[in-house]
Amino acid sequence: MLECLDALVREEEFIAFVQDHLDDDPIRLLLQQERYPGVDMRRVAQQIEGHRQASTKWPTLAGCGHVLYPPKLNREQSSSEATARMKVEFLREAISGTERVTAADLTGGMGIDSMALASLATHVDYVEHDEELCRLMEHNCMALGIGNISIHCGDSIEWLDRCGQQYDIIFADPARRDSHGRKVAAFEDCTPNIIEHRELIANRCKWLVVKASPMIDIDMGMSQMGNVSAVHVVAVKGECKEVVFVCRPNTTWEKGEAVIYAHNIGTTSGDWHHPGFRRSEEAAAKVSLCEELQQYIYEPDAALMKSGPYKLLCQGGRLEKLDRNSHLYTSDELMEWSGRVFHVISEVALSRKAIADLIPGGRAHVVVRNYPAEASELQKRLGLKEGGEVFVVATTVRGERKGIVCRSVV
């Protein structure tokens, strides 16, 4: 009992030390280890870096001075608070009407997704093989006043097989690094291998939610998982962060085909959500190609590009595609859009002389889409330096390679 009390006191003293040094340089503190012989300065530096990262990635944690943070790799691999909450909103709608929701997070990690699930579920089982992460999660749940999460340390697949529990939701975010630390994307290359253990997991839940790499092949993933009801591609401030597969393992999906959604959250203009589409709808859609370039050019954000409703973005007749294989769009009317929007100044021959005449300052950003050159190569060929307010877009319009000088609207 006394040992436990001593450990608690030491932990409180450590947290107080970190709070007193949040504004200090972690590198300088590491060099001052001799000055503080009773303090683990490496751990202090880890906490300071975690606090600073939390201010933007996990604002709720940042607001609690007693939260402790794991090492850098675990923080980098963790969901942001915003994406974790978004996954819960997908599920909230799916399980509407269920009174007492039970959930399990088979890849607990830093615990951000488990904490988000705890806002939806009556009870959450957090499973993690790393003892230190489990200890931190236990501490942080107490610090944040979260009382409906149980922490289990061990192999998640063995634990699930042994526990015999049935869940409404099982969540998994398999580790996407191989034994050499290299990044991987395919389900079968991740840990745990969801495909290998799919039958066991499927028999223990009504809904299976799997967070995958933004590099995953969505169609391959849907084929491997089976009974996928929805796929959510999530970007944060235009950068694709995750692809989430929502499955009904033991139910024939009544609509027969997964709906694919694209989300771009955290932008200065607010969150943006595509209403969703099915692959069959995109395949059946007729592409609307422009006869000529109009006043505005639209480039889809990363989530739209990843999800792929390329022809469907033209539906309604307000946008036209520049080319069948150029995922750029044009209109004379400025439209609400998720991605970059450019106001066209002029078409231009992609030659050094033509560019020099039109951009005398010699500074511009070069954007290459469906054009046989790298942006850096073309920039050098045109004699341009990076910078300024002008963009040179090199692309293909109705089969013809073109250069377009424009300014950014969004």
Closest CA to 282 of 317, 319, 324, 310: 310
Q: Give strand pairing partners of 404.
A: 347, 393
User: Does the pLDDT at position 4 exceed 70?
Assistant: no
Which residues make Cβ contacts (< 8 Å) with residue 405, sequence separation at least 6?
Answer: 344, 345, 346, 347, 348, 358, 359, 364, 390, 391, 392, 393
Confidence category of residue 289, pLDDT binned at 50, 70, 90 = very high
Q: With pLDDT > 90 as the criterion, what percentage of the chain qualifies? A: 80
Q: What is the DSSP letter of 138?
A: H
Q: What is the pLDDT of residues 374-407, one digit of tens each?
A: 999 999 999 999 999 999 999 999 999 999 999 9
Supply φ then ψ for residue 131, to 5 degrees.
-65, -35
169-205: b (≥16 Cβ within 10 Å) or e: bbbbbbebeeeeeeebbbbebbbbebbebbeebbebb
Relative to beta strand 339-348, strand 296-300 is: antiparallel
pLDDT average, residue stretch 109-128: 97
210 contacts 247 by C-beta, under 8 angstroms: yes
Residue 399: per-residue pLDDT? 93
User: Does the pLDDT at position 254 exceed 60?
Assistant: no
pLDDT average, residue stretch 36-46: 91
Residue 2: per-residue pLDDT? 35
- Amino acid (one-letter) located at 118: A
Helix axes 2-20, 41-57, angle to 10 degrees: 60
Q: What is the pLDDT of residues 346-372, one digit of tens each?
A: 999 999 999 999 998 899 999 999 999
Does 76-273 carry CATH code 1.20.990.10? no
Query: Which has more pLDDT, 254 or 200?
Result: 200
pLDDT average, residue stretch 194-198: 93
Q: What is the pLDDT of residues 143-166, one digit of tens each?
A: 999 999 999 999 999 999 999 999
User: Does the pLDDT at position 256 exceed 90?
Assistant: no
Which residues make Cβ contacts (< 8 Å) with residue 82, sequence separation at least 6?
Answer: 236, 265, 266
pLDDT average, residue stretch 305-329: 93
Confidence category of residue 304, pLDDT binned at 50, 70, 90 = very high
- Where do the H-state alpha helices sit in 126-273? 131-144, 156-163, 198-202, 218-225
Residue 253: per-residue pLDDT? 41
Q: What is the pLDDT of residues 59-98, one digit of tens each?
A: 999 999 999 999 999 999 999 999 999 999 989 988 887 7
- Where do the H-state alpha helices sit in 21-80? 26-30, 41-57, 59-62, 72-77
Confidence category of residue 327, pLDDT binned at 50, 70, 90 = very high
Query: Alpha-carbon distance 271 to 236, whole Å?
Result: 9
The model's pTM: 0.91
Highest mean pLDDT: which range of 164-178, 262-276, 292-306: 292-306
